[in-house]
Amino acid sequence: MNLKPIKANMTEVSFGKYRILFSYETPVAYEIVSGDQSGVYRTDKFWSRTTTRHINQWLNGRFANNIEQKYLDNIALEVK
């Protein structure tokens, strides 16, 4: 597992095939970085303007599919 602080309250965690973006302590987006699978996903839940800004900065213009927050929570549980 690799922890990468990006800025205040914005952290990226790399774990196995996942790169997960945390805004504060909440997983809000992830990327699959496996050779045979790839994709970028973001939560479909609105948390706050700041969290939305964190997601958009992390995506940096990349397209992301919306995914239910419960799936992000489950992926984050794998990291713990």
The domain spans of the chain are 2-79
Q: Are 53 and 28 in contact (CB under 8 A)?
A: no
**Binning pLDDT at 50, 70 and 90, where does residue 5 land?**
very high
- pLDDT tens per residue, range 29-56: 999 987 777 899 999 999 999 999 999 9
Residue 74 pLDDT: 92
3-state helix, strand, coil in the chain (%, to 5): 30, 40, 30
pTM for the structure as a whole: 0.91
